[in-house]
Structure 1
Amino acid sequence: MKSQTIKAPILKFESDAWSYYVAIPKKIGDQFIDGKDRRIVCTINNSTPIHSALMPKGEIYSVYVKKDFMKKYGIAEGDEVTVQLEKDTSEYGKPIPESFQVLLDQDQEGNNLFHSLTKGKQRTLIHLVGKVKNVESQLAKGLAIMHHLKEANGELDFKRLNVLIKEYNNRK
């Protein structure tokens, strides 16, 4: 399956954990699932692609849509949008910032510890680095992550990691 395009409204969850989603019919979503792998790339109204997962929700799948994304693209709850789905075949299920890839390439021990983590934890760390746009801040976060992985022998402790990130940010 190459890609699939549907029209669907932006809906609101009845939960505080997530705000908005697009409903994907089960018949369409099933085409993108490979075993336990539900990772997709979703493009809404020709916007920036969203690396996401098809989340089971009764007789449909949902694709989460963040408030800041909706604001950026002028989308509101109830708006009908064009959704293009493709299978995410990337290594991590989201793009890795170049600055973090350079650190992984230069630090074999850190690279090995990073790759010993689950794909979900790898994505979380990639997200931490990539959510800041400033390359210096990305490098500081990346260095803190590598330091933490070595210090904790590959066991993630997010409280300790956050302390290290603050320390590395203050070194600038």
Structure 2
Amino acid sequence: MKSPVFEISITGSFYTLLLPIAIIKPFLDKNIKRVKAKASFQGKELSFHGAFQKRNDNYYMMFGKRYQKELGIFPNDYFQLQFFEDDSKYGVDVPEEFEAVMYSDYEAHQVFETLTDGRKRGLIYAIARYKNSQTRIDKTLLLCENLKRGVRDPREMLKSF
């Protein structure tokens, strides 16, 4: 499932997109609130995962400063956006290092799977932000140890004790 390509600009606060109901209604009708998105502006493209968030009678999506900077978008610029059904397991791209380490540690993986979907995504994002492959491996190993120790505070999960 995918939406047509449509034009949009950043509204209100500098990090949100006011979504047209006509575009997202087919997703909402199927109870799909997390999607993959493809944004393009002046020949640059960016893919990301996002969620439709309802406030009052409108739907919004976060479009962070990092995405704006990557595409070279300013608040008054119009850019193209398209949504796709997100068929990923966690609703986010999982670094291969994270997957390899997590699946090699059965006990930690079992504990990880008991976390809420949002907590899982947050931890995956935290690991993915490291540019160096070895750092992603080291941080995932640390996460596995902390999960097995019973650490559940997200601020503590990537710290060594």
TM over 0.5, yes or no? yes
Q: Deviations over 1:94-117 (max 9, x none)?
A: 110000000112111011111111
Aligned pair partner of 1:62 in 44, 60, 83: 60
Indicate the residue corresponding to 1:8 in structure 2: 8
- Structure 1 residues not aligned, in runs of 5+: 14-18, 168-172
Q: CA RMSD in A?
A: 1.7
Aligned pair partner of 1:42 in 37, 58, 68: 37
1:32 aligned onto 2:30: no
Give 3-state SS (helix, strand or coil) of 1:84's partner: strand
Q: How many residues are aligned here?
A: 157
- Structure 2 residues not aligned, in runs of 5+: none
In 1: Cα distance, 2:83 partner to 2:58 partner: 15
Give 3-state SS (helix, strand or coil) of 2:91's partner: coil
Give 3-state SS (helix, strand or coil) of 1:29's partner: helix
Indicate the residue corresponding to 1:16 in structure 2: none
Whether the 8 Å contact between 1:32 and 1:86 is mirrored in structure 2 is no
In 2: Cα distance, 1:160 partner to 1:64 partner: 26
The residue type paired with residue 25 of structure 2 is: D
Whether the 8 Å contact between 1:4 and 1:86 is mirrored in structure 2 is no
Whether the 8 Å contact between 1:110 and 1:149 is mirrored in structure 2 is yes
In 2: Cα distance, 1:132 partner to 1:159 partner: 16
Give 3-state SS (helix, strand or coil) of 2:74's partner: coil
Q: Deviations over 1:67-116 (max 9, x none)?
A: 12211211000111111111111110011000000011211101111111
Q: Normalising by structure 2, what TM-score?
A: 0.89
Report the CA distance between 1:162 and its aligned residue: 4.2
Report the CA distance between 1:20 and its aligned residue: 1.5
Identity across matched positions, percent: 26
The residue type paired with residue 111 of structure 2 is: L
Whether the 8 Å contact between 1:26 and 1:59 is mirrored in structure 2 is no
